[in-house]
A and B are shown apart, each in its own frame.
Chain A
Amino acid sequence: MIELKNVKMSFEDFNALDGVDLTIEAGTAFGLLGSNGAGKSTILRLLSGVYEQTAGEVLIDGEPVYDNVSAKQKVFFINDETVQFGSMTLNDMRKYYKGFYPNFSDEIFDKLNGVIKLPEKKRLDKFSKGMKRQAIVITGLAACTDYLLLDEAFDGLDPTMRIIVKRLLVDAMLDRKLTVIISSHNLKEINEVCDTAALLHRGKLLFNRDLDSVKGSIHKVQAAFAEDCGEDDFGELNVLHYEKNQSITYLIVKGGEEEIRAELNKKQPKVLDLIPLTLEEIFIYEMEGMGYDCNGID
């Protein structure tokens, strides 16, 4: 289990994380969502011991992470900056990581590279961007850690590689209860792979929930009412967005389908349609609520 307790992280005068409380249960696939600069990568770097938090606690299975080998051996961080060791070959990199991760599996590594066929004796800085990414991904999977952190998860991987990685993650989650933490802007991918997700904005956590409950938590309503209704007539509901076009009222309402339906039925609508929002729409409306709005630009 991963726990962040009131974690603050400052870089000079910039607060990257501003009091984040977050618990990630073992065996989940956890998605970290957020705008650019929200603090996603900072969290991953804290979890892998790259940074030391300014305040608060970062714990893996109850142990502090920073400067603690036994905690760090449980975590593999697949960085978005691909490989750090340009002068190494793939074989050198394997040896290097094998020295640190006690459960490193040559079998998995060979099986994976049997599919991808990366050259083992070429310098990594001669690799293409996608190949570098593949190299670090297969090393990360072969390290057989309890926690796998993927920054900008599937960027730079081709569709076949994505499927391979997803299938390996399924195996690892079932066989050794791997916990995967993925940061991404690709909501489609998060939706498919993750069961829980957190949304960050400017160093604060907006929500941290089971994805299925997130998806049912905001609805788009289209309705026509017999009597003229204005924005103020929906005071009982948590309305995020209101729009009226002639007789049709469009609403974005926070809440479950049944409660919204029950409330709106009191106004005896002539037409009432409710659809849940997609993850992408939820993301945009939540951000809008925080004053991060794409409508201000066009």
Chain B
Amino acid sequence: MFFYAVNSFEENDLLAAGRRVFQSKRNSPNGLNGLPPSFDTAGAETLKAFNAFTERVNFMYNIDLQSRTPIYEQLYKKIIELILKRELLPNDKLPSVRELAKELGVNPNTVSKAFQLLEHDKVIYSLAGRGSFVANINAEAVRDAALADFDKAVSEALNAGIGKSELTERINCADIQGSGEIKS
């Protein structure tokens, strides 16, 4: 979008650079192998940044505006989820309130509210004039929160008449994707 573009030259440059890499690889007679190794290293870096950017945009859109859950709460949970999945690492910079509000088409006060709550819960910290960053979060607290959510989900599933064995089976399947413990 136009107004977003004005404020995000870097990201657009990144996108353009990423596209150039794709194009040049596609157009090269020998395909991927035809490029000089030095270009490939640089290209790989750009690609990595490009992927990181598209991933970020995807995560931003991943909020359900029609949901019954308040938007600030969804955002709060989403950021914690990203930290738990290690897509956001300690000291990573978060998008600004402005960027997120524009990207999601929501009120900046709502985004601020989520950030304030995250800061209060010591999940993120902010530096005046520089933005918000992921904190070295207390692994214990995150674990407790995740387990509380889990207990709630289990009791709902049991209420819905799903047997314990079926739930156990699901846990066993889910284990494959498990990402291990969180550094504190």
Q: Is the Cβ of B70 less than 8 Å from the Cβ of A193?
A: no
Q: Is the Cβ of A174 less than 8 Å from the Cβ of B108?
A: yes
Q: How many residues of B contact A (CB 8 A)?
A: 25
Q: Is the Cβ of A174 less than 8 Å from the Cβ of B68?
A: no
- B53 in the interface (beta carbon within 8 A): no
B118 to chain A, nearest CB (A): 15
| Interface majority SS (helix, strand, loop, mixed), chain B | helix
- A194 in the interface (beta carbon within 8 A): yes
- A244 in the interface (beta carbon within 8 A): no
Q: Is the Cβ of B159 less than 8 Å from the Cβ of A174?
A: no
Residues of B within 8 A of A28 (CB): 109
Q: Is the Cβ of B65 less than 8 Å from the Cβ of A192?
A: yes
Whether A166 touches B159, Cβ cut-off 8 Å, given contacts A191-B65, A195-B110, is: no
- Cβ < 8 Å to B, chain A residues 257-278: 271-273, 275-278
**A194, B70: Cα distance in complex, Å:** 12
Q: How many residues of A contact B (CB 8 A)?
A: 31
- B106 in the interface (beta carbon within 8 A): yes
Smallest CB gap from A220: residue in B: B68
- A168 in the interface (beta carbon within 8 A): yes
Cβ-defined partner of A271 (8 Å) among B68, B69, B71, B159: B159
Whether A277 touches B68, Cβ cut-off 8 Å, given contacts A115-B2, A163-B1, is: yes
**A167, B105: Cα distance in complex, Å:** 7
- B98 in the interface (beta carbon within 8 A): yes
- B28 in the interface (beta carbon within 8 A): no
**A193, B71: Cα distance in complex, Å:** 11
CB 8 Å contact bits of A193-222 with B (1 = contact, 0 = none): 111000000000000000110011000000
Cβ-defined partner of A278 (8 Å) among B2, B68, B97, B108: B68
- A188 in the interface (beta carbon within 8 A): yes
Residue positions of B touching A, CB distance < 8 A? 1-4, 65-66, 68-73, 97-98, 101-102, 105-110, 113, 156, 159
A-B pairs, top 3 by smallest CB distance, nearest first, are A212-B70, A195-B109, A170-B101
10 chain-A/chain-B pairs, Cβ below 8 angstroms:
A164-B3, A170-B102, A171-B3, A188-B65, A188-B66, A191-B71, A192-B105, A192-B106, A195-B110, A195-B113
